[in-house]
Amino acid sequence: MNTEMITMAAYIGTVNNQSSTQPNGHNSHSNTTESLWRGTDYGKWFVADSCTSLSSSIQGFAMPLIAQTVTGSPAQATLLDSIMTMISSVLRLPGGVVQDKYDRKKLMIAFGLIGFALFGICAALGWAGLLIYPVLMVLAICLGIRSGLLGTTSNTMLRGIVPDQLLPKASSLNDGRDAALELAGAPVGGVLIGGGLWLPFAVSALLNLLETAAAMRITKYWHRGGRTNTEGRALADDEADENGDAANITQAADEQATTTISSASQYWREMFSGFRWLLSERFERRLILSSALAFACFNSFLLITVLSIGSDPSHVVSASFMNVSVSVGVIVGSLISSVLVQHVRGGIVAVSFYVLMSIGALGAALAPWILARMAFLAISLLALPAGNAVINGFQSLLINKEHMGRVFAGMGMIETIAAPVITFLSGIAMQHWGYSVTSVALGLCIVAAAIPAVTMRELVTLPKPDGWEDHIRKSGLTKF
């Protein structure tokens, strides 16, 4: 399961109870009971993003096991994932500029079509008995390129579809959705592998085609040159023409962000702007580095656990239940996320998230029985949905909509610098020293990585959402 924080993968807004209009054009005093499904294209986006999530779940579970089946080597299986992640990391920054400069709907469509072609070719090769390790390596390289340039497009597009006051609700819903798909995706991946190594690729190709079809139907979304109504809802092109007198033209921040990149030096400045901001601000720097290292170690721990159990072909489906236990924890956590975010101080929620992840991972590493490992893994991510809503909701107030692509690219680059190295080293350590030593070492690394975040005053003292703007002013945090 891909358990990386939405801090590095999606953009979550928050409720601002003041009545002023935000820079993005959304009125923060809008009715918070407004439905996500009426008056917006969230439903179409939800279908498209769900297809991507399910495909990623199947791919993330199946590819390492397929590679291990083909090669018999855990190190080569983890190398595949490391190369894909490293390439994605290198391309995240130019990808952020692409997502800020070009129409995100078209980029979502391109993402789906590329996936359909890649997985379709691999399915055909697998059917013909030609699915060898070099083929998987080429697939990993192509998926890394796609992920780096286009992988976060769906997440950056979300805020242009859903009003700010409904984004925390969308966050909890998306977390629960992802966990439910992961709950189904891992066992489905195991069953598909049992039917043939080509089947997971065929299903992923179909899901990418469905994602493309759903993305093509999105019409109401924020894009350059588009208009929004007084509630911040993106208008379809024909609707904007009819209601032009009542629509708000994108404000000064939009105008500045639409400046054409006319020189190589300006392009490079734009490309690294989000990355520089993240590393120059102490709060952002400590939070993103802590999250990146903690989740890189957690995902590596989960991967070697799956590989350890799945090394026996008869236990492939059993290995999927490690992912299932994580999904159960996230689903349960998503059910209480909204209540926690609105009624518990943000600092308590954020610290609880890091503490539970540390305890759960270390407990799972030390547990001698599979059922005990599953229980600890479920506990480890109980606070993930609420932690995401708090941390990302607070961060959303520090980032303008026009800079989302570049900031996400910076976050993704920092995250993926650590992930491939830790994943590959985990595979080597498991091959030489065994699962037990490697898993305990990763558990201790998660505890160490969480310390910078849980000792940060700005995060520990974070109040409830209605006090976040005041907290930003009092803490002297800088917006981008």
Q: What is the pLDDT of residues 441-455, one digit of tens each?
A: 888 999 899 898 889
Computed over every residue of the chain, the mean pLDDT equals: 75
Statement: residue 182 has pLDDT above 50: yes
Q: Give the separation between CA 271 and CA 213, rounded to whole angstroms.
A: 30
Buried b vs exposed e over 370-381: b needs ≥16 C-beta within 10 Å?
beebbbbbbbbb
Statement: residue 209 has pLDDT above 90: yes
- If you average pLDDT over residues 452-464, what whole number do you get? 88
End-to-end distance of the chain based on CA atoms, in angstroms?
A: 31
Q: What is the pLDDT of residues 360-391, one digit of tens each?
A: 888 888 887 778 888 888 888 888 888 887 88
Statement: residue 115 has pLDDT above 90: yes
Categorize the per-residue pLDDT at 111 as very low, low, confident or very high, splitting at 50, 70 and 90: very high
What percent of the chain is modeled with pLDDT above 70? Answer: 72
- If you average pLDDT over residues 218-228, what whole number do you get? 62
Q: Hey, what amino acid is at 33?
A: T
Instruction: For residue 128, give Cα distances in angstroms to 44, 115, 118, 123, 197.
Output: 36, 20, 16, 9, 11
Q: Give the separation between CA 166 and CA 319, rounded to whole angstroms.
A: 37
DSSP states along 175-202? HHHHHHHHHHHHHHHHHHHHH-TTHHHH
Q: Hey, what amino acid is at 108?
A: M
Q: Give the separation between CA 416 and CA 295, rounded to whole angstroms.
A: 10
Statement: residue 205 has pLDDT above 90: yes
Task: Say what the pTM is.
Answer: 0.59
* Tokens 């400590």 -> residue: 286
- If you average pLDDT over residues 209-214, what whole number do you get? 92
| Neighbouring-strand partners of residue 228 | 234, 248
Token digits of residue 64 = 């390492």
Max intra-chain CA distance, the chain: 69
Q: What is the pLDDT of residues 34-77, one digit of tens each?
A: 566 777 778 888 888 888 888 888 888 788 888 888 887 777 87
Backbone angles phi, psi at 117, to 5 degrees: -65, -45
- If you average pLDDT over residues 156-184, what whole number do you get? 71
User: Residue 454, exposed/middle/buried by CB under 10 A (0-12, 13-18, 19+)?
Assistant: middle
Statement: residue 257 has pLDDT above 50: no
Q: Give the separation between CA 309 and CA 319, rounded to whole angstroms.
A: 5
* Tokens 């893994």 -> residue: 377
Categorize the per-residue pLDDT at 221 as very low, low, confident or very high, splitting at 50, 70 and 90: low
Q: Give the separation between CA 108 and CA 449, rounded to whole angstroms.
A: 33
**pLDDT value for 339:** 81
In 33-103, alpha helices (H): 42-71, 74-101
Q: What is the pLDDT of residues 283-314, one digit of tens each?
A: 888 888 888 888 889 888 888 887 776 655 55
